[in-house]
Amino acid sequence: MNLTDAERSGKLVLEAKGIGCTFDGLKLIDNFSTVIMRGDRIGIIGPNGSGKTTLINILLGTMVEHEGSVRRGTKLEVAYFDQHRAQLNDEKSVVENVADGEHVTVNGIKRHVIGYLEDFLFPPDRARMPVKVLSGGERNRLLLAKLFTLPSNVIVMDEPTNDLDIDTLELLEEMLMEYKGTVLLVSHDREFLNNIVTSTIVCEGGGRIGEYVGGYDDWLRQRVPDAVNRKVKITGRKKPRQKKEGPRKLTFKENREIEALPAMIESVEAEHAGLYKKLSDPEFYKGDGSRVAEAKSKIEKLEKDIADAYERWALLDRISKESA
């Protein structure tokens, strides 16, 4: 499953020039400039209260009182994952927060909302509960489910990994790695940033903001000595993500794959049978001789595809049974 892609944005997504912001006499952002292009995946890190969310709000245009200027590109459609979960209506049910009716459309495919929510670990009875009774992890999963249904070419995520279980975290990583738009990601999760982003914006204190190529560890290699000299607190040093004990389970993507394999195999086998039927007809050989060679070559390819698909199905089925 992927995020629902909107029409591609223009090549330029955002250009900030000399932006600044002071709050209660504290300089959060001082004369920062940057250019963000289509397809960039940018991590934003720094201590709590250092201006990360303020920077996002200025770039998105939701905070208008600031120094400098921000030019936004054309055809931008932004999907925003808010760390405060303000996009959820606590009084409505899980289903009502995701869909207006019984179905949702994701990447052009219509699905029943209950089946869709099961992908995000909501059983039918839980899907009908009001949002106000959900745990923090469930609220996060619900916001992800909602996010998947929104067409976008820019996704902004503010602390998306808080309270996420390992399975949902892996799903989110897969989703962001396959996303074709632009990603702005505020997070303290070191491993998550290393896996996703291609460059990093760091709120280093005193209004200073730096830009670095690569993820969290790349920033540490480049800036630790200087950061220590300026007494900038390095945050986000999390322990490596704990591996799940016992047999490995299918990932979210593999679950979707094993569900799709039977129909795919049936389709390929039908095409294979159709070509064999043609080759058994004497009339077929009276036409262009190249058609016969093409048909035989196609049959060989289909036979390989069928064998590979059955092998893959057997592997995924074995993993599924071992982890049950």
Same domain, 146 and 290: no
- Which helix (H) or strand (E) segment holds residue 44: the answer is strand 41-45
259: domain CATH number?
1.10.287.380
Task: Name the amino acid, one letter, at 221.
Answer: R
Residue 158 pairs with which residues in a beta bridge?
186
Asked whether residue 3 is domain-assigned, the answer is no
Asked whether residue 35 is domain-assigned, the answer is yes
> What pLDDT score was predicted for residue 86?
62
Asked whether residue 247 is domain-assigned, the answer is no
> What pLDDT score was predicted for residue 236?
43
> Which residues span the domain enclosing 172?
12-229
Q: How many domains does the chain have?
A: 2
Cβ pair 76, 235 in contact under 8 A? no
Report the predicted TM-score, pTM, of the whole model to 2 decimal places.
0.67
> What pLDDT score was predicted for residue 93?
94
> What pLDDT score was predicted for residue 4?
57
Asked whether residue 36 is domain-assigned, the answer is yes
> What pLDDT score was predicted for residue 228?
40
Measure the CA–CA gap between 76 and 119, rounded to whole angstroms: 28
Phi, psi of 83 (to 5 degrees): -65, -20
Counting as low any pLDDT under 50, the low residues of the chain are: 228-239
Cβ pair 139, 88 in contact under 8 A? yes
Strands of 199-275 (E only): list them: 199-205, 208-213
Give the pLDDT confidence of 164-201 residue by residue, as tens digits: 777 778 878 888 888 889 999 998 888 889 999 999 99
72: Cβ–Cβ under 8 A, 6 or more apart, which residues? 13, 14, 61
